[in-house]
Structure 1
Amino acid sequence: MMRIVCVGNLVHDEVFRVGALPSSGIKTGVLDYESRFGGPAATAAVAIARLGGRAAYWGRVGQDDAGREALRLMQASGVDCSGVAQLPAGRTLRAIVLVDARGERSIVSDRRSLAPDPAVLPDDPLDGTAAVLVDSRWPAAAEVVLDRARKRRVPTIFDADGGLAADGERLLAKADHIVFSSEGLRDYAGEGPPEQLLRRCARAAPGRIFAVTRGAEGSLWLVDGDIVPVPAFSVAIADSTGCGDVFHGAYALGLCEGMSPVVAAHFAAAAAALKGARGRGWDGMPDRAAVVRLLTDGERSRTEVAQLES
């Protein structure tokens, strides 16, 4: 089995559960607290491994307790962490996460504590690599690895969620599959209906697959000039943190297994839904059997509804 290389951030998440997300100037009491780990590329790597794929994570952590524990947990999940730089200067990246009773979350991230120099990346030519997935949170490293992948004709997926517009433009121009969050799409393409924004992106970078994830509204895919909706699965969400990262990892795995982009998106939607229903950070990652069950049940339900309407 060929590996999927995931490049980007690993984050120590400090999660505070609250009754409601506070507005400006409001004090809110904490109902529960949990220390766990996330980060777009790191979480995608864990998702791939839990779903039966072979994942490698390339990132950086501090030489601190949080960094050591995060790598231990990733390796226990089956992720190859030999490409992670453990830096003596600075601490592992940290985020404060507020989660309300509906599972919605707000995140405040501190990305200043580790140098962004891509020189700490492994000198690896991507032999035996089926795909590369990069996030927008370490753009200098993402650009280096996307260039390597282009030379080796390795397919690439870009998790486009925030960051500076100039960085996003460079990374988008080098990636094959660009999957935006709703916020990331607005940051890059401006305001307007998502279908219109996806087409605007495609005109600027033809020949690529563009998509936007929209939480409970599902995702939209621009494939061969057509907008294809992929519905989300209806589940009770315990915590939406990391759902998008799981989606990207599962999507990359689906592509590597020969699925079309839209079929891979259905697979990814099921994995993300289960992650949201379970919460619990990396401990809540679904395995392959659970995703297959949800896909099977979901298809049966859609068929039954169609029969009732006919």
Structure 2
Amino acid sequence: MTGRIVCVGNGVLDQVYEVGAMPRVGVKTTALGFRESGGGPAATAAVAIAALGGAASWWGRVGDDSAGAALRSAMARHGVDLSGLAVVPGGRTVRAAVIVEPSGERSIIVDRSGLPSEAALLPMDDLAGVAVLLADTRWPQGAEAALRRARDRGITRVLDADGGDTGVLERLTALADHVVFSQEGLTDFVGASEIEAQLRRAAARIAGVVAVTCGAAGSLWWIDDRILPVAAFPVMPRDTTGCGDVFHGAYALGLAEAMPPLEAARFASATAAAKAERGMGWDGMPGRAAVDRMIMKEKT
């Protein structure tokens, strides 16, 4: 059986508004649809792993408010282990307003100010039986402590490097052996430039596998001193919210299943595409059979 995957970082209650076009400044816009859904990089990755049949734990924190209760309920329903979750008395769970246009592209406004950031909120878990630890950059203190603990135990470590302070990125990338940037995160780390040049500059500062996700353009991977592309799977997206988080979760599961990095990247790409096609927040997470069918269809 594949070992457990621990996902460390943020969980968010997303309030999602579907619109005909992105709002203009000073103009009221009527939503075509609305839903509340779980979100956040680490939490969404954990839900994706569980939907794919993996064993996922979320180490994060929520407030003792209605949003926190909704996240806990949703994650438990999706089969994620919450024994490492901290519920903060008087805390305000992270919330986000997500605006989605018909193409599936979205804009997000996040409030992360309502929770403490101390790494002491992490569980005193010995990481027994853990195959991979995945951390995001949105809870830097927790990510750094968890990555150090996993490194000391020889556990594979994946960093979802989706933007942040350069100093934080320097510390966290040094602790991971697989660093997968978003385009925003890569620019924050090395500055603006042509994307392949950015990836080369990042790889010169990071040991191990380094990659960048590029949405519908697929992803680029620095492996064995060269850049290798992994194409995206062509789909008609319903909603791209959380697809990068799904990608990271599926990639971590692929590594836990002993897939080589490029095979794990292909598996992650198919999972993210299936999620974009389905939409529906966490309830739209694809199962393993749907992802396998997408991969087989692309091969034929």
Interval containing the TM-score (normalised by the shorter chain): over 0.9
1:305 counterpart residue number: none
1:108 counterpart residue number: 109
Q: What are the equivalent positions in structure 2 for 1:12-31 lying under 5 Å apart?
A: 12-31=13-32
1:73 Cα deviation (Å)? Answer: 1.5
- The SS at the match of 2:253 is helix
2:59 counterpart residue number: 58
What letter matches 1:293 in structure 2?
R
What letter matches 1:233 in structure 2?
F
1:265 counterpart residue number: 265
Instruction: List per-residue Cα deviations over 1:122-175 (Å, max 9, x = no partner).
Output: 011211110100001000000000000110010100000012121111101111
What letter matches 2:104 in structure 1?
G
2:235 counterpart residue number: 235
What letter matches 1:165 in structure 2?
T
1:32 Cα deviation (Å)? Answer: 1.3
- Supply the distance in 2 between the matched residues of 1:289 and 1:129 (Cα, whole angstroms): 24
- The SS at the match of 1:82 is coil
1:149 aligns with 2:179: no
- Supply the distance in 2 between the matched residues of 1:252 and 1:23 (Cα, whole angstroms): 39
Q: What are the equivalent positions in structure 2 for 1:140-289 lying under 5 Å apart?
A: 140-205=141-206, 207-289=207-289
Q: Which moved more, 1:63-72 or 1:229-238?
A: 63-72
Instruction: List per-residue Cα deviations over 1:235-257 (Å, max 9, x = no partner).
Output: 00000000000000000000110
CA contact (8 A) 2:186 2:202 kept: no
What letter matches 2:66 in structure 1?
D
What letter matches 1:103 in structure 2?
G
- The SS at the match of 2:198 is helix
- Supply the distance in 2 between the matched residues of 1:183 and 1:214 (Cα, whole angstroms): 10
Q: TM-score, normalised by structure 1?
A: 0.95
Check 1:24–1:208 CA distance in 2 against 1; reply closer, same or farther (3 A cut): farther
1:9 Cα deviation (Å)? Answer: 0.3
1:73 counterpart residue number: 74
Structure 1 residue ranges (4+ consecutive) displaced by more than 6 angstroms after TM superposition: none
1:216 Cα deviation (Å)? Answer: 0.4
- Supply the distance in 2 between the matched residues of 1:162 and 1:29 (Cα, whole angstroms): 31
What letter matches 2:197 in structure 1?
Q
CA contact (8 A) 2:98 2:107 kept: yes
Q: Which moved more, 1:117-126 or 1:216-225?
A: 117-126
What letter matches 2:250 in structure 1?
A
Q: Structure 1: 5+ residue runs without aligned partners?
A: 301-310
Q: What are the equivalent positions in structure 2 for 1:38-57 lying under 5 Å apart?
A: 38-57=39-58
- Supply the distance in 2 between the matched residues of 1:87 and 1:125 (Cα, whole angstroms): 22
Check 1:186–1:26 CA distance in 2 against 1; reply closer, same or farther (3 A cut): farther
1:27 Cα deviation (Å)? Answer: 3.3
2:135 counterpart residue number: 134
- Supply the distance in 1 between the matched residues of 2:26 and 2:74 (Cα, whole angstroms): 37
Q: CA RMSD in A?
A: 0.9
- The SS at the match of 1:174 is coil
What letter matches 2:20 in structure 1?
G
What letter matches 2:158 in structure 1?
I
Q: TM-score, normalised by structure 2?
A: 0.98
- The SS at the match of 1:146 is helix
1:26 Cα deviation (Å)? Answer: 3.9
Number of equivalenced pairs: 299
1:208 Cα deviation (Å)? Answer: 1.1
Q: Structure 2: 5+ residue runs without aligned partners?
A: none
- The SS at the match of 1:159 is strand
- Supply the distance in 1 between the matched residues of 2:8 and 2:63 (Cα, whole angstroms): 16
- The SS at the match of 2:204 is helix
Q: Which moved more, 1:176-185 or 1:189-198?
A: 189-198
